[in-house]
Amino acid sequence: MQTRVPITLLVDDSCPLIHVFRFHWEEVHKRPPYTDDGRLLLDIIPNEFLDRFCDVVETRGIAGKFSIVPAPAGRGDIVSGIEDYHPDVTREWLETVKRRLSNRFDFCPEGITHNLAVNLDTGEYFDEGESGWSQKQDRTILTPYLTKSLEYLKAVGIDATGVTSPWVFGIDVEDEYIASIVAAQKAVYGRNFSWYFLHMLHDKPESKPWLAFQEGDTTLVAIPSTVDDFWWRTIDSPRTDEEFIDSIADLIITKDGRGGKMREVLDAGGWPILLTHWQSLFSAGLETGLAVLDEVGKRVNESLAEEVEWQTCSEIARLTLTKFLY
């Protein structure tokens, strides 16, 4: 029987090379993207950053899910390669993901571009972001869209066990969205058990995942985040000193395990489901967020080892299905 509370790390917006937040920023503001303190955001997140992320999660035993945006910002895709780069660079990134993360991370698409929605009939882009566009669609449109996103991952040998919603994709038409996830997983992977991440319930610390859909032998589990992306603030600060890193880690979990958002969630009886983003860990090239993750992983191992246990999203979904009690 499960006696420790499951915790998991949701990594959003990851993909080869493209810094999707930077391109999204430019798309929205129509000018070059800067951090709040005036540094230009970098176009590219190099493959070496993925290596360093893998080092941290392996060392600390962290588990969760890792998004792969299939055609990030519409600049090439994971099958044919990212624009302006040799396809080998994309391939190498994917091989590292498979080799080093498969054991303790689930993989999933997160939209197709994580930017403008794609017109699947013409291959052109709609003049609207994927999230805004999705809110006006039904399952006849959303199912092929999700199918396409899963097919990209399948084509490069990635088993996508779930789906992540770019921003709040599908939230206004959630029943249609849920039916589409179920249908797309069945069509692409022949899968009838899956999970999705859409809801950010940072003001409801008592939250746990729930069964969003169950019919016959088909199940879809909703996994909400309960711990906000405190890593994000490293994007807008030039600081990389230990005091700064500790101050952000403290917001997540203090050294003694008695404070921070994870503690609030545990005390409320919820499951600490930590949300972060690839750009929050990259921190405009300073990688301060990754140092915070390393510190959080260390604190979990030192102060919460008796109380919590890192799990993948699939493991958490299975626990939810079996209605585990502790």
Q: Which residues bind Zn ion (CB under 5 A)?
A: 12-13, 166
Shortest Å distance, C-beta 18 to Zn ion: 12
**CB of residue 165 vs Zn ion: minimum separation in angstroms?**
8
- Toward Zn ion, which CB reaches closer, 13 or 294? 13
Q: Quote the Cα angle for 60-239-105, to 5°.
A: 25
Nearer to Zn ion, 53 or 309 (CB): 53
> Smaller CB distance to Zn ion: residue 8 or 219?
8
Q: Which is nearer to Zn ion, 234 or 303 (CB)?
A: 234
Q: Which residue is nearest to Zn ion (CB)?
A: 12
- Report the nearest approach of Zn ion to the CB of residue 12 (Å): 4
- The nearest distance, CB 121 to Zn ion, in angstroms, is 25
Distance between CA atoms of residues 18 and 143, nearest Å = 26
By beta-carbon proximity to Zn ion, the closer residue of 143 and 165 is: 165
> Shortest distance, CB of residue 61 to Zn ion, whole angstroms?
25
Min dist. Cβ of residue 219 to Zn ion (A): 25
Identify which of residues 13 and 229 has a Cβ nearer to Zn ion in the complex. Answer: 13
Closer Cβ to Zn ion, 68 or 308, answer by number:
68
Beta carbons of 284 and 235 less than 8 angstroms apart = yes
Please report how close the Cβ of residue 167 comes to Zn ion at its closest, in angstroms.
6
